[in-house]
C-alpha cells in the first residue's frame, strides 16, 4: 500500500478510527460532546472525499470518482441524522456513546460498499451497515415498538443476508472468481443455470435492502418502530448505499434479459404496492414507509431502462428522494412525543404552530409527490424520460398513474398541516433548536435548488457514472 492509497482510503480510516475512539472515550467520559465529535469526524470524511481527488485501486476496494461522490452523499445524510439525533436523544432518554459510534460504523460500511470491487467486500460493506442498523433500530430499550421493529429487521435482515451470500456463493461456484470486473467480462456469453440462480438470489437480497416489492414488508414496521433520526438515515443513506452497490453489481448480469424482466416486475409491484398501501395509512411514519416503497419502485423503473440512460436517472432520483425523505423524517423527529401521537391527524395546524417544521414537511411532501419546482419533480422527469427512451411505455403509464395516487396521500399531509383547525388541547410545541434547524433546512434547500437548477447534479452524475 502506497501513501497515495492511504490518502485515498483516509475517509474510511477516519470513520473507523472515529467509531472506535468514540466507544473508548465514551466509556471514560460519557457525554453529549460525542455527537459533536462524531459530526466533526463525518464532516472531515466528507470533505476529504469531495476535495481530494485521490484515487486508488487495492484488492477488494478501489476509490473511484463514483465511490468518492456516493460516499460523500451518504456521509452528508449521516451528518443530518446526527444533527437530528442530538436533541432527539436527549428528549427521549437515549443515552450512551454507542449511538454516535454505531452511526459512524454504519457510514464506514456504506463507504466500503460504494468502493467495493469484489463480491466479498461488497457483502461486507452492505452487511456492516445493515448490522449497525440492527442496533440503531432497537436502541430505545424501553420501547416495545422499538424492540419489535428491531427483531423484525434482524430476522428479515439476516435472511436476506443469507440469500445474498448464497447468491454470491453460487456465482463464485460457477465462475470461479469474486472480482466484479472479471465477472462482468465473463458475462458476455451464454449463462449457466447456476450463475443465473446466483444472480436471482443476489437481486432478491438487494431488493430487501432497497425495500422493493416483494421484499418490502419489513419497511413499515421498522420505520415506525425505530427512533425518527434512525429512520431518517435508514430510509435515505441505507437506500443510497444499496443502490450504489446494485449499480456496481449491474455489469455482472451482462446482457441477460431476465434482469430486465425481473426489474420490470419489481418496479411494477413496488410502485403499485407502495403507493396503494400508503393511501390507507394513518400513521405518518408508516405512510412515509409505504410511500418509500413506491419511491424505490421509480428507481427500479429507471433501472429497467438502464441501457437508455436509466442509471443516471436512478441515481438522480435517489438523491432527490433522499433529500425530501431526510426533511420529512427530520420533521417527524422534531414533533413532540412522537411515540404516541405520530398520526397524520396529530399534525393538525402544525404549519401555523411551528412554521419552520410545517413548511419543511409541506415542501418535502410536494417533492415526494413530484410537483415542481422541487427535486422530486426533476427526479420523476428524468426517470420517465429514461423509461420512455427505453421503450417502457406500459411501465411509464403505470408509474404516472400511481404517481397520481401518491399525490393524494402526500397532499393529505399538507391539508392537515394548513387547512384543518388545530386539535384541542393544543400540546406544547417543541421549537427546533439550532442543530435541528440546520438539519431541516439543508435538505429542503437541496430540494429546491436541485428542483430549480438540476444541471450541476446531472453533470456530476454523468461524469462519475461514465468513469466508474
Q: Using the minimum distance from each CB to other proteins, give the nearer residue, 371 or 441.
A: 371
Q: Using the minimum distance from each CB to other proteins, give the nearer residue, 196 or 371.
A: 371
List Cβ neighbours of 51 (8 Å cut-off, separation of 6 or more).
none
Residues numbered 443-462 forming contacts with other proteins, rule: CB under 8 A: 453-455, 458-459, 462
DSSP letter assigned to residue 308: G
- From the CB of 412, what's the least distance to other proteins, in Å? 8
Distance from C-alpha of 370 to C-alpha of 120, rounded to nearest angstrom: 37
Q: Do 135 and 146 contact (CB within 8 A), yes or no?
A: no
Q: Using the minimum distance from each CB to other proteins, give the nearer residue, 33 or 352.
A: 352
Does position 276 bind other proteins by CB under 8 A?
Answer: no
- 254 phi and psi, to 5 degrees? 60, -135
Distance from C-alpha of 223 to C-alpha of 121, rounded to nearest angstrom: 27
Nearest to 251 by CA among 119, 340, 84: 119
The set of cell numbers assigned to 194 is 447456476
Distance from C-alpha of 241 to C-alpha of 126, rounded to nearest angstrom: 8
Question: How many residues at the interface with other proteins, by CB under 8 A?
Answer: 34
Does position 352 bind other proteins by CB under 8 A?
Answer: yes
- Binding window for other proteins (CB under 8 A); candidates: 103-111, 139-147, 404-412, 438-446: 404-412
Distance from C-alpha of 207 to C-alpha of 263, rounded to nearest angstrom: 10
- From the CB of 278, what's the least distance to other proteins, in Å? 15
Q: Which of 48, 73, 129, 377 binds other proteins (CB under 8 A)?
A: 377
Q: Which of 58, 279, 371, 441 binds other proteins (CB under 8 A)?
A: 371
Q: Give the number of residues written for the chain.
A: 468
Cβ neighbours of 407 (radius 10 Å): 17
Q: Which of 366, 375, 392, 432 binds other proteins (CB under 8 A)?
A: 366
- Binding window for other proteins (CB under 8 A); candidates: 15-23, 63-71, 173-181, 413-421: 413-421
Q: Using the minimum distance from each CB to other proteins, give the nearer residue, 7 or 398.
A: 398
Q: 88 to each of 140, 251, 292, how far by Cα in Å?
A: 12, 42, 23
Window 308-347: contact mask with other proteins (x via CB under 8 A): ----------------------------------------
DSSP 66-105: HHHHHHHHHHHHHHHHHHHHHHHHHHTT--STHHHHHHHH
Q: Which of 88, 105, 298, 384 binds other proteins (CB under 8 A)?
A: 384
- Binding window for other proteins (CB under 8 A); candidates: 1-9, 83-91, 246-254, 372-380: 372-380
- From the CB of 343, what's the least distance to other proteins, in Å? 17
Does position 404 bind other proteins by CB under 8 A?
Answer: yes
Q: Using the minimum distance from each CB to other proteins, give the nearer residue, 354 or 382.
A: 382
What is the enclosing helix (H) or strand (E) of 219? helix 218-225
Cβ neighbours of 190 (radius 10 Å): 7
Residues numbered 184-243 forming contacts with other proteins, rule: CB under 8 A: none
Q: Which of 373, 433, 441, 449 binds other proteins (CB under 8 A)?
A: 373
- From the CB of 287, what's the least distance to other proteins, in Å? 16
Distance from C-alpha of 261 to C-alpha of 199, rounded to nearest angstrom: 13
- From the CB of 355, what's the least distance to other proteins, in Å? 9
Q: Using the minimum distance from each CB to other proteins, give the nearer residue, 142 or 459.
A: 459
In 283-433, alpha helices (H): 284-304, 310-334, 350-353, 355-369, 375-389, 393-419
List Cβ neighbours of 437 (8 Å cut-off, separation of 6 or more).
356
Q: Which of 145, 191, 341, 420 binds other proteins (CB under 8 A)?
A: 420
Contacts to other proteins by CB under 8 A: 352, 366, 371-373, 377, 380-382, 384-385, 388-389, 396-397, 400-401, 403-404, 407-408, 411-412, 414-415, 418-420, 453-455, 458-459, 462
Amino acid at each position: 500500500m502506497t501513501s497515495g492509497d492511504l490518502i485515498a482510503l483516509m475517509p474510511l480510516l477516519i470513520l473507523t478510527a472515529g467509531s472506535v475512539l468514540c466507544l473508548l472515550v465514551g466509556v471514560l467520559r460519557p457525554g453529549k460532546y460525542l455527537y459533536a465529535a462524531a459530526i466533526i469526524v463525518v464532516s472531515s470524511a466528507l470533505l476529504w472525499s469531495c476535495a481530494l481527488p485521490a484515487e486508488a485501486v487495492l484488492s477488494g476496494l478501489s476509490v473511484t470518482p463514483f465511490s468518492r461522490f456516493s460516499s460523500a452523499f451518504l456521509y452528508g445524510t449521516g451528518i443530518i441524522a446526527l444533527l437530528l439525533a442530538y436533541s432527539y436523544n436527549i428528549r427521549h432518554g437515549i443515552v450512551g456513546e454507542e449511538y454516535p459510534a454505531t452511526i459512524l460504523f454504519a457510514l464506514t460500511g456504506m463507504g466500503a460498499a460504494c468502493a467495493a470491487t469484489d463480491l466479498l467486500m461488497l457483502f461486507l460493506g452492505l452487511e456492516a451497515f445493515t448490522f449497525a442498523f440492527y442496533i440503531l433500530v432497537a436502541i430505545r430499550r424501553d420501547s416495545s415498538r422499538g424492540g419489535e421493529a428491531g427483531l423484525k429487521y434482524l430476522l428479515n435482515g439476516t435472511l436476506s443476508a443469507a440469500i445474498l451470500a448464497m447468491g454470491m456463493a453460487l456465482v463464485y461456484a460457477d465462475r470461479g472468481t469474486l472480482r466484479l470486473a472479471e465477472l462482468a467480462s465473463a458475462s458476455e456469453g451464454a449463462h449457466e443455470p447456476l450463475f443465473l440462480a446466483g444472480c436471482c438470489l443476489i437481486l432478491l437480497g438487494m431488493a430487501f435492502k432497497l425495500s422493493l416489492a416483494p421484499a418490502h414488508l419489513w419497511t413499515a414496521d421498522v420505520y415506525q418502530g425505530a427512533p425518527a433520526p434512525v429512520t431518517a438515515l435508514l430510509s435515505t443513506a441505507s437506500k443510497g448505499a444499496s443502490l450504489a452497490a446494485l449499480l456496481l453489481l449491474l455489469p455482472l448480469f451482462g446482457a441477460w434479459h431476465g434482469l430486465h424482466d425481473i426489474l420490470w416486475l419489481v418496479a411494477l409491484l413496488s410502485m403499485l404496492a407502495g403507493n396503494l398501501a400508503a393511501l390507507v395509512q394513518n400513521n405518518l411514519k408508516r405512510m412515509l414507509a409505504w410511500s418509500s416503497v413506491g419511491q424505490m419502485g421509480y428507481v427500479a423503473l429507471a433501472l429497467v431502462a438502464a441501457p437508455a440512460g436509466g442509471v443516471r436517472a436512478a441515481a438522480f432520483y435517489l438523491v432527490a428522494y433522499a433529500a425530501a425523505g431526510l426533511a420529512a423524517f427530520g420533521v417527524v423527529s422534531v414533533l413532540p412525543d412522537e411515540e404516541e401521537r405520530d398520526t397524520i391527524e396529530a399534525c393538525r395546524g402544525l404549519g401555523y404552530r411551528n412554521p419552520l417544521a410545517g413548511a419543511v414537511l409541506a415542501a418535502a411532501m410536494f417533492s415526494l409527490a413530484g410537483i415542481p419546482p422541487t427535486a422530486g419533480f426533476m427526479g420523476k422527469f428524468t426517470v420517465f424520460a429514461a423509461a420512455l427512451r427505453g421503450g417502457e411505455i406500459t411501465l411509464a403509464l403505470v408509474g404516472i398513474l400511481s404517481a397520481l395516487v401518491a399525490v393524494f396521500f402526500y397532499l393529505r399531509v399538507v391539508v392537515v398541516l394548513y387547512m384543518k383547525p388545530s386539535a384541542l388541547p393544543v400540546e406544547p410545541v417543541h421549537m427546533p433548536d439550532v442543530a435541528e434547524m440546520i438539519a431541516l433546512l439543508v435538505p429542503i434547500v437541496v430540494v429546491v435548488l436541485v428542483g430549480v437548477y438540476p444541471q450541476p447534479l446531472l453533470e456530476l452524475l454523468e461524469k462519475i457514472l461514465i468513469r466508474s
